[in-house]
């Protein structure tokens, strides 16, 4: 049984990410954090960081994501999803070809305004708290990248889209903007997060199954498994001492960018290589290794 690692959870509908973290924390009786929230309406992949693995949350937050989105045309709500208050309903006179064409205009780098009911901060306060009080939070547009928008099913007013997007993309805003471009309005009916970076929903454990498990630690992956997609740099004793004390070192490996750092066969953290120089970013020094 370990005390540090990552846990891939299939989040059920109706729970906030914070509530999932609380349930897992009680089960494992250790520190737990998440690496990016999912709306209560959404289901799917939620990556939880266990113990000292919370130090690496920034790596997961910046990963691209893939979603399966069910949307309904002809409706506008204040939350941009079906659980909000209806602002307007319109007759849908849109063909599937028009939906395809509209989707293509959103692929690439775009600016989008976060939903009013979001955790984005406005002058130090959460936008959703201001929105609940009837105030209209003035949210600034953010730049995001939309890699792929694929229309899987189109039976107006219902459509299903698979989208691969950069970190920080608001799916509800994208659907709202799509509805505006079609002059019909649109809201999210259902949302499944299928992938976060190299991690897939198919590898996740349903929350209830995890909570009912006699040996829940069996589902927790070692931290180094989480970063197996990164190049590996192994250090000798002399360079290891420098890195463990936070100092940069020269390395022979030709890798550029983020790498995993190993001393012999022991994972000790994440670093960044630039022009042959390795700089430690986050360290996870195991017991028994002296600095």
Residues with a catalytic annotation lie at 39
Tokens of 249: 């070192």
Task: List, in sequence order, the alpha helices (H) in 115-170.
Answer: 127-132
Exposure b/e, 25-39, CB count within 10 A at least 16 = b: eebbeeebbbbbbbb
Of 290, 204, 284, nearest in space to 4 by CA? 284
Residues 6+ apart with CB under 8 A from 176: 76, 80, 115, 185, 186, 187
Q: Residue 221 has what DSSP assignment? A: B
3 state SS of 13 = coil
């Amino acid at each position: 049984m370990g005390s540090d690692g990552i846990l891939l959870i299939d989040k059920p509908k109706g729970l906030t990410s914070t509530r999932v973290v609380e349930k897992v924390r009680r089960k494992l009786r250790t520190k737990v954090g998440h690496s990016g929230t999912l709306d209560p309406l959404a289901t799917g992949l939620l990556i939880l960081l266990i113990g000292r693995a919370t130090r690496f949350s920034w790596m997961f937050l910046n990963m691209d994501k893939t979603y399966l989105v069910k949307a309904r045309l002809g409706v506008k709500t204040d939350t941009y999803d079906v659980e909000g208050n209806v602002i307007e309903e319109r007759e849908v006179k849109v063909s599937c070809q028009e939906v395809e064409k509209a989707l293509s205009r959103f692929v690439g780098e775009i600016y989008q305004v976060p939903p009013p009911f979001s955790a984005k901060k406005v002058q130090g306060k959460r936008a959703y708290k201001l929105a609940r009080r009837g105030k209209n939070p003035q949210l600034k547009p953010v730049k995001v990248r939309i890699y792929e928008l694929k229309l899987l099913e189109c039976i107006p007013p219902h459509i299903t889209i698979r989208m691969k997007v950069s970190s920080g993309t608001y799916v509800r805003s994208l659907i709202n903007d799509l509805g505006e471009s079609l002059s019909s309005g649109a809201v999210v009916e259902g949302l499944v997060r299928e992938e976060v970076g190299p991690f897939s929903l198919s590898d996740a454990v349903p929350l209830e199954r995890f909570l009912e498990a006699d040996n829940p630690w069996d589902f927790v992956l070692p931290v180094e498994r989480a970063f197996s997609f990164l190049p590996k740099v192994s250090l000798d004793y002399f360079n290891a001492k420098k890195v463990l004390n936070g100092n940069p070192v020269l390395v022979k490996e030709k890798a550029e960018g983020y790498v995993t750092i190993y001393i012999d066969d022991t994972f000790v953290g994440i670093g960044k290589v630039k022009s042959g120089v390795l700089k430690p970013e986050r360290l996870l020094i195991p017991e028994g290794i002296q600095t």
